[in-house]
Amino acid sequence: NHMSVDDPDLIKTVNSASLDSEKQKILRRSSVHPDFLNIAQFMDSFGWMLRLPSLSLDTLEDGLDYTSKEPDLYFDACCNAVEHLVISLLHRCGLITNPEKLITTLHKFLEFRDTTLHNILSSHTSFKELANGTKLAVILSICISQFDENAKFKTEFNSQYSPESLRFDPIGRDMNGNQYWL
């Protein structure tokens, strides 16, 4: 059971430890969240297969982290790029949407897949206003669903990768020849 960077207990612990504000900001950055790394790895490994928009890690992180209501051309562009990524991933799962209907589409998408995220989304009207951890969990859920719901992706994936190529080398063998992995 890991703590999310949006977890109130973690934030309370951080605040009670009287860390300076810079360290608190770092703990709230998307890039320290495990889902950020999973999404980055997915995009790096399979983005070309899905013809996803190319985003730098900085653009992805800045688009996820920016929450100010004040307009800022750079951060607005980053937020729009992340929304475009989400819309592209949903499109690959057969759901057509636009930025104005994104939360409604995500709500429908998550209804039977992840009830916790589904319930969180029901109180929001914009993807940009979601907490970092929630945005990351939503994007990761859509990435993972590509393996189940995107027949074209599955076919291309299976033609590109053999099961053996996806496995790590075993950490050892016993005297009976059984192999062991972590």
Can you give the pLDDT at residue 112? 86
pLDDT at residue number 14: 41
Q: Which stretches of the chain are assigned E, i.e. beta strand? A: 172-173, 179-180
Angstrom distance (rounded) from CA 130 to CA 122: 11
Share of the chain above pLDDT 90, in %: 37
Provide the pairing of β-strand 179-180 with 172-173: antiparallel
pLDDT band at 11; cut points 50, 70, 90: very low
**Predicted local confidence at residue 114, as pLDDT:** 87
Asked if residue 5 has pLDDT above 80, the reply is: no
User: Residue 4 in contact with residue 11, Cβ under 8 Å?
Assistant: no
Q: What are the tens digits of pLDDT across the range 143-175? A: 999 999 999 999 999 998 888 887 778 888 999
For 7, residues 6+ apart whose C-beta sits below 8 A from its C-beta are: 133
pLDDT > 70: what percent of the chain?
A: 82
Among positive and negative, which fits the CA dihedral 75, 24, 26, 11? negative
For the chain, what's the residue count? 182
Residues 179 and 173 sit within 8 Å (Cβ to Cβ): yes
Give the span between the Cα atoms of 8 and 118, in whole angstroms. Answer: 19
Q: pLDDT-derived band of residue 19, with 50, 70 and 90 as boundaries? A: very low
Return the bridge partners of 97, or none.
none
Q: Using pLDDT thresholds of 50, 70 and 90, give the confidence band for residue 28.
A: low
pLDDT exceeds 70 at position 15: no
